[in-house]
Structure 1
Amino acid sequence: MGPIWWTLVSVLASTAVEECAAVAKLQMVQHEGTYSKTMSFRFNQTTEHVLVFPTSQSMYPYRISAWSSDALVESPVLLVVRQEREVLSWQIPFVVDTSTRDGVVHFHNTSRTLCHNNMLQITKSKSFTRKLSIPLSQNFIVALSTSSMVNVEVSVIVEEERNFYLTENKKYSIAVSPSETKYYYYKFLDRRSTTAVVEITSDDDVCLTVSIQDSFCPVFDLDKDITYEGKYQTINRKGGMSIRSKEYPDGFFLVFVAKADNYECSQKHSLLPRGHKNSNIIAANRTSIVNFSIVKGINGKDYGVASLVTLCAIGAFYVFAIVMVFAFTRWGTLRSYLKSKSRDITDTLEGDADFVVEPGITAEDKKQLLTNNKLTVNLLARAPTKDRRRSYNYLWHILSIAIFYSIPVVQLVTTYQRVVNRTGDQDMCYYNFLCANPAWGVSDFNHIFSNVGYVFMGILFLCVVLYRHAKIPNNCTGIPTHYGVFYAMGIALTIEGLLSACYHICPSQSNYQFDTSFMYVMAVLCMIKLYQNRHPDVNATAYATFTVLGMAIFLAMVGILNSTLSVWIVFVVIYSVLCVYISFKIYFVSFVFDGFKQLKKTFTSSDNKVEAIAPIKKSRFFLLIVANLINYAMLITGLCLYNSGVTDFGTFLLGLLMGNSVLYAVFYTSMKLVHGERICVEAIIYGVLGMAAWATSAVFFLDNATLWTVTPAESRQWNQECIVMNFYDKHDVWHLLSAPALYLTFMFLLCLDDDLVDKKRENITVF
């Protein structure tokens, strides 16, 4: 054996001797632990203190608190708790990672709750009370050690967690920090109650994670592992969770963990961050005072009663609406007209079977339309068969779009719901957690079911249009009634209910357009129908209309995903160009090229240039100027509201479209009165009832219970409790009231020109 080997052996031998000497120097000092008494120790790496606590028969678990101001991160104090079935350990100072790169926060005060040795027997006990009849025992040993070469002082106290077992309708107040996490246990005692709601509030902005975990040990009560089990969500000032008894038949743990910073509750963590809403990421004090209580939720009977009452209310409205339709048909404005006309139906839903060649608009007709200051409907209703066929294109287009749009929507939101159920991540969906009643695998059944009104109102409107179509076929008098657009409006209302229900399966920043797309469609169809009444030959085709709608939805998507200044500039430019183009289309009765050509000819041949460029149709020109000013006012208002954080791009765009549809309806109704036409009693009744329904529903719509433009934790600050039958919240009431409001609005448009049904078209003014 050479000298190198002898050197290596000697080094290894000396190392082993040193390690044995170090082990020999380590002294294990055993102490008898005392409950509810502070025990202090001063020691270094040569000593390990072992606290052996006597067997306890208490039904309450114990909480160990340990603190030290001397311990350093480089040589921490290690605290190990050995129980019968598990080992719990942590260090002092307690190190928690922050959201910044390589950032950590140190805490010198720590405390943890030990899971009860007999937790399984406690949860399985059928007679769960404060005094259990089953035998209980808890045994544990606490070991303290450190690698510090200098003495450090550590204090330890072990106490019962007296508030560990939660009861209903009792308010609790606790202090939580990243190093002093807490959890409690709740069991469903009333078998008739199928749900429980945890209501949480806090007066500070410390970001918390709240978790619901099944009632078995160990409990994941640290920031790094709390998401491994059960359901969880981030909160700061308000939160809520609905728990079904069938998911946790033996009860559940309610776990509170404070985070080292506010990153996950701030706008910087949002998918769509908005700079003006940023909150402080790091706060000096990470201790949060949390107030919470558990209230009894609704049971299966309550679900059934609320659903049945809703369907009965819709049925009552059906009866009311059908009675109104038959009453107006028999005794209303159309009574004399229906008596004088043959009941032989020649115009049906399928349209005209035989193609009729109809004369188009000649060059002389265009000149008359461009120069005549007073136009009549007969000049723009030269091709009734073609116009009726074009109107049915709206029906077939919207049916096709609804099918191809809805299928991926249903697939996507169903996947979202399955992910939420499997992972327990309740930050994925923006529910009103204080009134989210789960059922049949969905987390928020009431917000889905409340959309049933849109579906039923859409079907009702389709039936009314079909009945009216059979009673009043198109003829040569009155406003040309193109039923295809009305059918499309009914389909849009029905699909809106289905898509809104899909959106509420998992409302979030990424699928808000599901809830609004067919609102855009309905707003545009209302404007199209009003314009079509007086301009049937030059009305926009279904192809052009849905192309523009597709562009609007695309812009809404871009604006939601990336609301930067450049996106807003592009939108303002496109919207301004569209307003100018539509204004020219309306002023020149759709013949924009011919109109400018005639204007150029007049300008070049006239000596008075000012008079040559003066508008021929002064009233129409003035009204278009007013409409454009109102549009720009809405645009500026929307930009200000967005900049203030009041609205978002999707809602802003929807507001523009709905504002224009309301503006056009008011203009159309006013112009009827100006031109000596009357508003029939049917339209007045439907209009008044519609405005009352809209005014009432708007009150509930404006009082938001969620806000998807912020983080999930910030959105929960808007959460509100149920207000109707402990089942519906204010947004549900908005659903239930806005559905009949839309039906009444559509009926108003359907009956608006009934006073002209037997009037010759050459006597009906175009405006």
Structure 2
Amino acid sequence: MPSCWKCRQKPGLLSSGFKPIWVTLSMMWLLATHSVNSKTAVSKNQVVQKEAQFDVTYNDTVTSENQTIYAFNHTVSRNKTEGIRVSVELLSEDPKSPILFVVRQKQADLSFQVPLILRGPSWRKYQYTEVARTLCQLPTQVPSEIQFFYVDTSTLSNAGISYQLRVSRVDSFTLQTNKKFSFNATPSQPQFFKYVFPEGVDTVIVKVNSSVNFPCSVMSIQDIQCPVYDLENNVAFIGMYQTMTTTAAITVQKKDFPSNSFYVVVVVKTEDEACGGPLKLSPLVPDRLYDPGNRSKPLEVVVSPAIDSYAMGMWTCLGIFLFVPSCCGCACVIYTCVKKKEGPLNPGETSPTETERSPESVGRSRQEACSLVEEYDFDTLPDIESDQNIVRTKRYLCVSDLAKADNTVLSKQYQIYFWNIATIAVFYALPVIQLVITYQTVFNKTGNQDICYYNFLCAHPLGPVSSFNNILSNLGYVMLGLLFLVIVLMRDIMHLRNDSNALECGIPKYSGLFYAMGTALMMEGVLSACYHVCPNHTNFQFDTAFMYMIAGLCMLKLYQKRHPDICASAYTAYACLATVIFFSTVGMVFGKGNTVFWIVFSVIHILATMLLSIQLYYMGCWSLDSGSLRRMLYVIYTDCIRQCSGPMYIDRMVLLVIGNIVNWSLAAYGLIKKPNNFASYLLVIAICNLLLYFAFYIIMKLRSGERIKCLALVCILFTAVIWGFALFFFFQGLSNWKKTPAESREHNRECILLSFFDDHDIWHFLSSIAMFGSFLVLLTMDDDLDSVQRNKIIVF
């Protein structure tokens, strides 16, 4: 005890060599015992080497005391790559220890155990008793040589474990261009094949298809190197990869592979959650080995050359959007010449349409509607010309009643729409561009092609951009938006130079909203291109933000035509649009299946609809304050209960009732269904309201005895047809980020135009033209009133 106590208290004694004699004797005894046991183990462990042959099945038994080495040799040629596959099946049931197989090659070693234990994403462990692996083969530098490789088997089990070993050559290990090859794969039996770029081919598309959705699998493109990462837990380490159910496609460029060749690796996953499959409902037991079941998947792979030259697609896109502006420019020049030839009317002159139309066909002429004064129309006060709140109480209003503000002041106020949206565009677009560049960089660096929801069967890369065609097709929005700005500017110049009756005739020509609409169309093209750099759930709001802007600006422009003095200011309008975008962002992040969010949004939607309806019905003469509810109840009592009188403004009431029914129905649909794509749901609300108001405007215009000129009518019919074709291509649904990436790829389709553009690209082409046509409709639909005095133009 004293000696031991001293050793613990003073460890320096041991290190300096002062040890008790019994410690030295104990160490000598341990060394001697270990030497004897080692000699005994070596003498018991027998190593047997066999000269083995390809395509021969070997049934053997291995224990901790014997080890078998299978020696193979084969001829390797510089111009031919031969695949070799090692297949092992465990014959013994419930072995106490696994068998370790080590394949020693010239280039690299491969080791695996049987039974093979694979862990899934849910951390469940699955046991496989059949394992097959393909050996990687690096090209040789000599014309031909004989190479040896060895398969070593060993175990720590004292009891014998029986197994079956077979080494065979792989047919069609090197894939041929445009030639399909079929095979099967399981989680423990992955497959990979080699492809060599032929002369003259710089880009290929690798397609892997399956006749069944599940089990979920992964397709990977890897450079020629050893080892090949062909298991679920390492397949994402290098190269490019995609999860798949029935379809996977990756475009591969020759410049990315120095050896002018690559491996196509297919791995079947142990579980299906990554592909949208069902979740495991059984309890998770840490040490339990789960039965994997039958997870064999039939697959076929084909490598096809992809289009290398983008010149035809690019020139076609540029040609379309140079031809359309040229035609529109010629039409505008002709229209301007005709307008100049007709010349303006004098202030007191009547429009030809006024003399040719009978009062009976109209019901009430403009003169009767706007000039006939009855005692119930409005109170005759001396300040009626200055107090517009009193003017707005007339049963029949004319544009002259709502166009009393100074023309110069009002024009500058509406110009704020343009300058504000230009500022918003800059501050909105720059962070978006930075973000999508980051997305594309991560996509390229990690090789994870599940990040972006492309149509992979028609995705043409250019430089770092993975789907250049989807970006190029947005060029139409920018060019046609710019053309619309030029047309509006031309009309402004013509209006200033030639229209001497501008202050008394026609709809007031305030172009600020038109300039804002053209800018919004250009920005829609920019942001849609940004979205298509890497389309996914988180950046879809970029694609829809300026769609809300366009829909809102179009409705404001329709309202401003007949209500120039009381149209919303730019600050109020953009504040409301900012609120919409705020809800879009919140809905995209938190709205999926969130009942509380949908209740709050539906209530806000209904209340906003009601408040806007009251504002529109009373022409802005109704204010929201503490007495609003009392006044509302009083009106209901006096007009609906006491007198049972109908609404004073029947046309507006019909519009607002239908509008409330539509919006309440949309709110109920959202609350019940809770659609995952909240941004599109908001866009549907905006489009429905725009179409409803546009239809009301056209109907009321015709009811008021006005007519639609030939140019506007052609624009309406042309735009309607183009919208029909555009929506057809839009609803083809080539991808869907509401699903998993693997499920989204089930909707991928081949290019349909010039082997370069897909259905969604055609949607971009047609929708940009349709939006441009819609803007022209708004621009020209009231040209028939240019020579009509404003006190004869009905407000509705």
What's the TM-score, normalizing by structure 2? Answer: 0.86
- CA 1:395–1:288: 2 relative to 1, 3 Å: same
Whether the 8 Å CA contact 1:112–1:182 is kept in 2: the answer is: yes
Distance in 1, matches of 2:721 and 2:52, equals 72
Whether the 8 Å CA contact 1:116–1:138 is kept in 2: the answer is: no
Q: What SS does the corresponding residue of 1:112 show, helix, strand or coil?
A: strand
Q: How far is the alpha carbon of 1:712 from its aligned partner? A: 1.0
- Out of 130, 140, 148, the position equivalent to 2:157 is 148
Alignment-derived partner of residue 379 in structure 1: 401
Alignment-derived partner of residue 265 in structure 2: 255
- Out of 111, 131, 136, the position equivalent to 2:132 is 111
Query: Where does structure 1 lack aligned partners over 5 or more consecutive residues?
Result: 122-132, 270-280, 342-358
- CA 1:461–1:600: 2 relative to 1, 3 Å: closer
Q: How far is the alpha carbon of 1:451 from its aligned partner? A: 0.5
Q: 1:154-553 to 2 correspondence within 5 Å?
A: 154-191=163-200, 193-204=201-212, 205-249=214-258, 250-266=260-276, 284-300=293-309, 303-331=310-338, 336-337=342-343, 364-370=387-393, 372-383=394-405, 384-473=407-496, 474-553=502-581
- CA 1:283–1:464: 2 relative to 1, 3 Å: farther
- CA 1:47–1:282: 2 relative to 1, 3 Å: closer
Q: How far is the alpha carbon of 1:283 from its aligned partner? A: 6.9
* Overall identity of the aligned pairs, in %: 35
Whether the 8 Å CA contact 1:394–1:484 is kept in 2: the answer is: yes
Q: How far is the alpha carbon of 1:655 from its aligned partner? A: 1.0
Distance in 2, matches of 1:607 and 1:536, equals 30
Q: How far is the alpha carbon of 1:266 from its aligned partner? A: 2.1
Whether the 8 Å CA contact 1:360–1:382 is kept in 2: the answer is: no
Q: How many correspondences in the alignment? A: 718
Distance in 2, matches of 1:282 and 1:389, equals 75
Q: What SS does the corresponding residue of 1:226 show, helix, strand or coil?
A: coil
- CA 1:597–1:754: 2 relative to 1, 3 Å: farther
Once superposed, what is the RMSD of the aligned Cα atoms?
A: 2.6
- CA 1:268–1:547: 2 relative to 1, 3 Å: farther
- CA 1:605–1:574: 2 relative to 1, 3 Å: closer
319-328 vs 535-544, which deviates more?
319-328
Larger radius of gyration: 2
Whether the 8 Å CA contact 1:71–1:77 is kept in 2: the answer is: no
What letter is aligned with 1:622? V
What letter is aligned with 1:507? P
- CA 1:120–1:614: 2 relative to 1, 3 Å: farther
Alignment-derived partner of residue 700 in structure 1: 729
Alignment-derived partner of residue 778 in structure 2: 749
Whether 2:615 is the aligned partner of 1:585: answer yes
Distance in 2, matches of 1:156 and 1:701, equals 54
- CA 1:408–1:763: 2 relative to 1, 3 Å: same
Q: How far is the alpha carbon of 1:100 from its aligned partner? A: 1.7
Q: Encode CA deviations 1:616-652: one digit per residue, 9 max, x unaligned.
A: 2233222211111122233444556655xxx611111
- CA 1:145–1:217: 2 relative to 1, 3 Å: same
What letter is aligned with 2:319? C
Alignment-derived partner of residue 747 in structure 2: 718
- CA 1:608–1:516: 2 relative to 1, 3 Å: closer
What letter is aligned with 2:242? Q
- CA 1:607–1:654: 2 relative to 1, 3 Å: closer
Distance in 1, matches of 2:184 and 2:48, equals 33
Distance in 1, matches of 2:785 and 2:385, equals 28
Q: What SS does the corresponding residue of 1:590 show, helix, strand or coil?
A: coil
- Out of 660, 664, 681, the position equivalent to 2:693 is 664
Alignment-derived partner of residue 789 in structure 2: 760
Distance in 1, matches of 2:383 and 2:661, equals 35
Query: Where does structure 2 lack aligned partners over 5 or more consecutive residues?
Result: 1-19, 280-289, 348-381, 497-501
Whether 2:55 is the aligned partner of 1:46: answer no
Distance in 2, matches of 1:79 and 1:607, equals 92
Q: How far is the alpha carbon of 1:14 from its aligned partner? A: 3.0
Alignment-derived partner of residue 665 in structure 2: 633
Whether 2:118 is the aligned partner of 1:96: answer yes
Distance in 1, matches of 2:606 and 2:151, equals 73
Whether the 8 Å CA contact 1:71–1:92 is kept in 2: the answer is: no
Q: How far is the alpha carbon of 1:134 from its aligned partner? A: 2.5
- CA 1:106–1:290: 2 relative to 1, 3 Å: same
Distance in 1, matches of 2:633 and 2:738, equals 53
Distance in 2, matches of 1:606 and 1:296, equals 78
Q: How far is the alpha carbon of 1:615 from its aligned partner? A: 2.9
Q: How far is the alpha carbon of 1:18 from its aligned partner? A: 2.7
Distance in 2, matches of 1:392 and 1:574, equals 31
Q: What SS does the corresponding residue of 1:228 show, helix, strand or coil?
A: coil
Distance in 2, matches of 1:437 and 1:330, equals 45
Distance in 1, matches of 2:172 and 2:608, equals 65
- CA 1:143–1:606: 2 relative to 1, 3 Å: closer
Whether the 8 Å CA contact 2:99–2:153 is kept in 1: the answer is: yes
Q: What SS does the corresponding residue of 1:227 show, helix, strand or coil?
A: coil
Alignment-derived partner of residue 739 in structure 1: 768
Q: 1:56-75 to 2 correspondence within 5 Å?
A: 56-57=75-76, 59=80, 60-70=82-92, 72=94, 75=97
Distance in 2, matches of 1:604 and 1:505, equals 55
Q: How far is the alpha carbon of 1:267 from its aligned partner? A: 7.2
Q: Encode CA deviations 1:299-344: one digit per residue, 9 max, x unaligned.
A: 12xx011101111121111221112222223336x85245879xxx
Q: Encode CA deviations 1:56-93: one digit per residue, 9 max, x unaligned.
A: 34631211111103265751110000011211100001
Whether the 8 Å CA contact 2:471–2:530 is kept in 1: the answer is: yes
Distance in 2, matches of 1:335 and 1:40, equals 101
